[in-house]
Amino acid sequence: MHPYQYIPATNITEAVSALARYGNRARILAGGTDLLVQLRGERYELDAVVDAKAIPELVELTLDGGLTIGAAVPCYQVYENLAIAAAFPGIIDAASLIGGIQIQSRASLGGNLCNSTPSADGICPLIVHSGVVTITGVDGTRTMPVEEFSTGPGRNALGNGEMLISINLPKPAAHFGAAYQRFIPRNEMDIAVVGVASAITLDATGQKVESARIALASVGPTPIFAKQASEFLAGQTATEETFAKAGAIASTEATPISDMRGTIKQRHHLVEVLTRRTLVQAVRRARGNA
């Protein structure tokens, strides 16, 4: 492995200036569960690894109606927090199934986002919870919706010298529910053939859909926000039949490939099934009887 400097940053300025100094020869280290594997596999070489876990903003986890998840907060801290689990069920579904317990001790949702694989379990739930990312670089700080962050397999909106600081999720509306499910051939420790996250807000009667958001994993070059299926659901009655129609629309928004994990045909089918199932689960949670 190419030798690199270890830079334990204690604040954002230090980290950003290290990133600016080394350009694309430096990366941020959070949990390391992707980074160290990729370095060891010599997928790329680095001259510097900037450890971000001593930067207060990157390890912040604050629930104040909305939720702020620092980019380096490990998954277990998110799913072991019962108040977060109650308010942000879609996030918990993902945080508790990424890898095994050992991985969840270190891996972060921010790292999952920055690694930017189309199959990431963590990204779609952040999209349907209307997550917004905060990015800082030498030229200042900017924000963007999570669905705009990934730009291709392993690629994202971070420019040279920029780093992800946090993911901010707004306070869910009343009668809100969300869920994430994936299809894998075994029960744990696998990469999604297809993953679907759905979020739904019902009206006060609990029968009509006010708004919905659906996002698809592993069926395109990036996680996909299924805009048409999401918009179709607004104003509809919350029945399984409606959700099956939403699944059929979502399937048309998927652009999967055939690979070792599944075929194009299977993946389109799985989008339909998982969209319907996650909507049913999200509605159960929205009605408070999950």
Partner 1 sequence: MTQIPEQQFVHKVPVQCTLNGQSTEFLAAPYLSLLEILRETLGLTGTKEGCNDGNCGACTVNVDGRIVDSCLMLGVEAQGKNIETIEGVAPAGGLHPLQQAFLEEAALQCGICTPGFLVSAKALLEAEPNADEHRIRLWLAGNLCRCTGYDKIIRAVEKAREEMK
User: Which residues sit at the interface with partner 1, rule CB under 8 A?
Assistant: 1-6, 8, 29, 31-33, 36-37, 39-41, 45, 47, 49, 51, 53, 76, 99-103, 105-106, 187-189
Sign of the C-alpha dihedral computed for residues 36, 42, 43 and 44 taken in this order: positive
Nearer to partner 1, 7 or 200 (CB): 7
Closest distance between partner 1 and the C-beta of residue 177, in Å?
24
Whether the CB-CB separation of 125 and 178 falls below 8 Å is answered with: yes
Closest distance between partner 1 and the C-beta of residue 95, in Å?
14
Nearer to partner 1, 102 or 289 (CB): 102
Whether the CB-CB separation of 15 and 22 falls below 8 Å is answered with: no
Closest distance between partner 1 and the C-beta of residue 79, in Å?
13
Closest distance between partner 1 and the C-beta of residue 194, in Å?
21
How many whole angstroms separate alpha carbon 94 and alpha carbon 30? Answer: 18
How many whole angstroms separate alpha carbon 76 and alpha carbon 59? Answer: 13
Nearer to partner 1, 195 or 256 (CB): 195
Whether the CB-CB separation of 250 and 196 falls below 8 Å is answered with: yes
Nearer to partner 1, 32 or 221 (CB): 32
Q: Which two tokens stand for residue 122?
A: 């963590």
Q: Give SS3 for 216.
A: strand
Closest distance between partner 1 and the C-beta of residue 28, in Å?
13
Nearer to partner 1, 2 or 171 (CB): 2
Nearer to partner 1, 33 or 201 (CB): 33
Nearer to partner 1, 7 or 165 (CB): 7
Side chain identity, residue 210: E
For 289, phi and psi rounded to 5 degrees?
-120, 45
Closest distance between partner 1 and the C-beta of residue 266, in Å?
24
How many whole angstroms separate alpha carbon 51 and alpha carbon 7? Answer: 6
In eight-state DSSP terms, residue 154 is T
Q: Which residue is associated with the tokens 């999200």?
A: 282
Q: Which two tokens stand for residue 26?
A: 């430096």
Closest distance between partner 1 and the C-beta of residue 119, in Å?
16
| 240 C-beta neighbours (distance < 10 Å), count | 12
